Amino acid sequence: MADPLRQFLPYGLEDLPALLHTPRAAPREALSAGLVAYLKRLGAPSASLEAAKRLAHPNSRAIVSGQQAGLLTGPAYTFYKAHAAIKLARTHNTDTPVVPIFWVASQDHDTDEIRSVELLDFEERVHRLTLELPAAHPAGRISFAPYFSQVCELLRRFGGYSEVRERICKALVGPWSYSEVFARLLLEFLGPLGLVVFDPMAPELAPLFAPALEREIANPLASSEAINRTAQAMKKAGLEPALGRGEGATNLFLEGPDGVRRLLRFGEGHFEDGERQYTEADLRAILAHDPARLTPAAGLRPVLQDTVLPTAGFVVGPGELRYVAELGGVYELHGLKPPAVIRRMGVVVLEPPIERILQKYGLEAWAFQADPEGTFKAALAQQEARVQAIRGHLARINAEFEQIQRLLSEPTLQRPRHRAQVRIQHELKRLERKILDSALRQENTIGAQFARLQRHLAPAGPQERVYPFLMYLLKHGEVVLDRLTKLPATGQHTLHLS
């Protein structure tokens, strides 16, 4: 974590060993019992169940990560976050139990972000599926059954390893919610490694959050004010805060009778969600009757998580770092210290044909992903005879101008000479760019190889943010997961499939 952000994140990876031995209160026995019941209901493997049981130990700790309940587990970085938590937990699981936990964001109601998937097959065809999910409904309330046939038909068309496809479809079958299907897929492939999934809307787990939610109800604007104070401090430090709470905005959402999740605002002694008003007593009654209806906003969610889990480390993505950095004051309100905030690993998966193209042009996968066109053109320029000829001529022209400079010693002639040299340089460089642009756009081997690299490594953004990790399992089998498990928990890595 680079300064000046670090001043708002007091603990990082280097602090994890100390935090693992710092006392941390949590309802461990109730947490463990609730998780075991939830995981059994989902059909979790024994390794996951045993890990959940270890949380009952009075000194247990957790390494936590999480993500929205994306279709077919969402972008590949879902697996990378989970792997980082598993790896860190195993590394530090010595004298006391350290358990990897994946928080399934079942409360999230931004269904546009979880309803689509793209798969790239061996024939370079992109298979897309977008489901018609109800808007503004928490993922934990959406039944997956109406979408089962569409998803399995997509997998059938895509092809690949039939045994992997069967495992995926088996996890989708049943009376599950959208978030439970996501959890079952993670358990199918990562549960045997000891991953514990946690759904805050699960009836076995939602009651655990009641004490923290009651504190928010009693003082509904305190956490918002704490976030805004930190946001101001971040601005003074030259940072752009990710969160800000408007006037009257709490950090609580309420799921209405229509199933829509709405932000609660507070003013003049009552709460309102744009549809109706609620008293403090109303919300407490809802919390007692159906605790899953009252859920945290982004500015409260990690803190609420840590009121229940004995979190020592929190594995996050680069975007999450910024908003977690604003939550120090909210942690204080709930009597907690923040965990070690650890940036997740990044991975580029290289399938054999893509690795061969990269080698042909002397390209590095991460560099290409960061700037596909610029990186490819720079490499192509080293192999393009016309570009090399132009550069040779340009070097000779510059040498000639050095000779001319000795002849034109008068000050009045220096500027015209310089302008002439710059103009020639500019035109030759423009010609070089046109040659490279043309090479990329032509329907020839070079253009096709550039397009192929872009489809695999940077399809509308970094690969890990577009394709699901399950796609690589479907194409190449269990070897992909085996190789992922050998990578470190942090840093940038390349997963070779050659």
Are 176 and 144 in contact by the 8 Å Cβ rule? The answer is yes
Burial (CB < 10 A; 0-12, 13-18, 19+), residue 481, is buried
Average of pLDDT values for 137-163? Answer: 97
Average of pLDDT values for 180-196? Answer: 99
Q: Is 346 helix (H, G, I), strand (E, B) or coil?
A: strand
Q: CA 372 to CA 300: how far, in whole Å?
A: 38
Average of pLDDT values for 156-164? Answer: 97
Residues 332 and 397 grouped into a single domain: no
Residues 45 and 80 grouped into a single domain: yes
Q: What is the pLDDT of residue 423?
A: 77
Q: What is the pLDDT of residue 458?
A: 97
Are 408 and 417 in contact by the 8 Å Cβ rule? The answer is yes
Residues 69 and 194 grouped into a single domain: yes
The percentage of residues in the chain with a pLDDT greater than 90, rounded to a whole number, is 82
pLDDT per residue as tens digits for the range 340-399: 999 999 999 999 999 999 999 999 999 999 999 888 888 777 665 555 555 665 566 666
In a domain, 254, yes or no: no
In a domain, 37, yes or no: yes
User: Domain end: 316, 344, 372, which one?
Assistant: 344
- Asked if residue 79 has pLDDT above 60, the reply is yes
Residues 335 and 411 grouped into a single domain: no
Q: What is the pLDDT of residue 179?
A: 99
Q: Cα(first)–Cα(last) distance of the chain, in Å?
A: 33
Residues 421 and 457 grouped into a single domain: yes
Structure tokens, 204: 């076995």
Residues 309 and 387 grouped into a single domain: no
CATH at residue 157 = 3.40.50
Q: CA 370 to CA 378: how far, in whole Å?
A: 13
Determine the Cα angle at 295 with ends 298 and 100, to 5°: 70
| Buried-exposed string 15-36: b where 16+ CB fall within 10 A, e elsewhere | bbeebbeeebebebeebbbbbb
Q: What is the pLDDT of residue 378?
A: 81
4 prior amide bond cis, ω within 30: yes
In a domain, 59, yes or no: yes
Q: Name which of 185, 69, 186, 71 is nearest 128 in CA terms.
A: 71
Place of tokens 């061969």: 356
Q: CA 374 to CA 352: how far, in whole Å?
A: 23
In a domain, 233, yes or no: no
Q: CA 224 to CA 212: how far, in whole Å?
A: 15
Hey, what long-range contacts does 373-381 have (CB within 8 A, 24 or more apart)? 373/440, 373/450, 376/440, 376/450, 376/453, 377/433, 377/436, 377/440, 380/436, 380/439, 380/440, 380/446, 381/432, 381/436
- Asked if residue 153 has pLDDT above 60, the reply is yes
Question: Total domain count for the chain?
Answer: 2
In a domain, 334, yes or no: yes
Structure tokens, 226: 């704490």
Residues 184 and 330 grouped into a single domain: yes
In a domain, 247, yes or no: no
Q: CA 28 to CA 26: how far, in whole Å?
A: 5
Q: What is the pLDDT of residue 446?
A: 81
Residues 22 and 69 grouped into a single domain: yes
Q: What is the pLDDT of residue 397?
A: 62
Q: What is the pLDDT of residue 410?
A: 64
User: Domain end: 287, 317, 344, which one?
Assistant: 344
Structure tokens, 79: 């697996």
Q: CA 261 to CA 294: how far, in whole Å?
A: 9
Q: What is the pLDDT of residue 374?
A: 87
Average of pLDDT values for 162-169? Answer: 97
pTM of model > 0.75: yes
Domain range spanning residue 96?
A: 5-210+297-344
Residues 317 and 434 grouped into a single domain: no
More confident call, 317 vs 400: 317
Amino acid letter, residue 332: E
In a domain, 270, yes or no: no
pLDDT per residue as tens digits for the range 56-71: 999 999 999 999 999 9
Q: CA 106 to CA 180: how far, in whole Å?
A: 8
Q: What is the pLDDT of residue 1?
A: 45
Amino acid letter, residue 374: G
Average of pLDDT values for 202-219? Answer: 98
| Count of CA atoms in the C-beta half-sphere (13 A) of 189 | 35
Are 493 and 369 in contact by the 8 Å Cβ rule? The answer is no
- Asked if residue 323 has pLDDT above 80, the reply is yes
Average of pLDDT values for 103-107? Answer: 98
Average of pLDDT values for 183-195? Answer: 99
Residues 201 and 127 grouped into a single domain: yes
Are 113 and 460 in contact by the 8 Å Cβ rule? The answer is no
In a domain, 430, yes or no: yes
Residues 325 and 404 grouped into a single domain: no
pLDDT per residue as tens digits for the range 402-453: 666 666 666 665 677 667 666 766 766 675 666 666 666 665 678 889 899 9
Average of pLDDT values for 135-163? Answer: 97
Q: CA 104 to CA 140: how far, in whole Å?
A: 9
In 306-391, DSSP assigns E strands to: 311-316, 340-343, 346-350
- Asked if residue 215 has pLDDT above 60, the reply is yes
- Asked if residue 464 has pLDDT above 80, the reply is yes
Residues 116 and 205 grouped into a single domain: yes
Q: CA 177 to CA 114: how far, in whole Å?
A: 13
pLDDT per residue as tens digits for the range 299-318: 999 999 999 999 999 999 99
Q: What are phi and psi of 383, to 5 degrees?
A: -110, -10
Q: Name which of 29, 33, 197 is nearest 100 in CA terms.
A: 197
Q: CA 229 to CA 245: how far, in whole Å?
A: 10
Are 340 and 490 in contact by the 8 Å Cβ rule? The answer is no
Mean model confidence pLDDT for the chain:
92
